């Protein structure tokens, strides 16, 4: 690809900011106790950072943790296996956990993380995702808190990448030409591991 690809804005900064405040209010209404936010790296880092500050404004005092997960791909197709690249440090026993991820697609990543935290003795694991792609679930799971329903296109920005790029964008967008065929980008193994 030559030149700078154009990015079509799907969810702009203001829309995301407004929705984050609403999500934080919804989360506060669930009355979490001793709340631990666990953000799934890398894609959710920007959403998590904004959501955590919105949670503060909504009157919550969460602690914050990170887990870095990778979906193993066979070529460009998910094999359904998830690996832990970096684990949470805190003991989750008896705690209300809010798992935060960027996109709920097949549902494998969120299911894996939720099962892991429950197996470690969390009292309750709620899930918040910025985006949900309907009709793509391989595992039956719904997020408790969803920012937006996302069309079935490959999105970037607001923390999300393709081949390590575009995470810095303050909005969620679609890269021209990539929306119909993400496989046009030849993703190296490392990039696949950070999905």
Residues that bind ligand 5GP (CB under 6 A): 43, 71, 101-109, 154-156, 160-162, 195
Nearer Cβ to ligand 5GP (24/158): 158
Cα 168 to chain centroid distance, Å, stands at 15
Distance of alpha carbon 25 from alpha carbon 31, whole angstroms: 10
Instruction: Pick out residues in 43-62 that bind Mg ion (CB under 5 A).
Output: 43
Residue 105, interface with Mg ion (CB under 5 A)? Answer: no
Residue 19, interface with Mg ion (CB under 5 A)? Answer: no
Nearer Cβ to ligand 5GP (56/83): 83
Q: Find the binder of Mg ion among 82, 161, 172, 174 (CB under 5 A).
A: 161
Give min distance, CB of 15 to Mg ion, in A. Answer: 21
Residue 195, interface with Mg ion (CB under 5 A)? Answer: yes
Distance of alpha carbon 181 from alpha carbon 195, whole angstroms: 16
Nearer Cβ to Mg ion (15/165): 165
Interface with Mg ion by CB under 5 A: which residues?
43, 161, 195
């Amino acid at each position: 690809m030559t030149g700078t690809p154009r990015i079509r804005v799907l969810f702009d900064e203001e829309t995301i900011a407004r929705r984050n405040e609403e999500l934080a209010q919804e989360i506060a209404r669930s009355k979490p106790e001793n709340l631990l936010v666990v953000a799934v790296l890398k894609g959710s880092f920007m959403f998590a950072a904004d959501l955590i500050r919105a949670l503060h404004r909504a009157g919550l005092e969460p602690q914050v943790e990170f887990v870095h997960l990778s979906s193993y791909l066979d070529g460009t197709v998910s094999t359904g296996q998830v690996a832990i690249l970096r684990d949470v440090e805190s003991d989750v026993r008896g705690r209300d956990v809010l798992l935060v991820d960027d996109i709920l697609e097949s549902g494998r990543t969120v299911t894996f993380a939720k099962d892991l935290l429950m197996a470690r003795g969390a009292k309750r694991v709620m899930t918040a995702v910025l985006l949900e792609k309907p009709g793509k679930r391989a595992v039956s799971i719904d997020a408790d808190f969803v920012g937006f329903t996302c069309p079935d296109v490959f999105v970037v920005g607001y923390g999300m990448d393709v081949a390590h790029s575009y995470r810095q964008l303050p909005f969620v967008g679609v890269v021209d030409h990539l929306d119909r065929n993400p496989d046009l980008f030849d993703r190296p193994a490392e990039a696949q591991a950070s999905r």
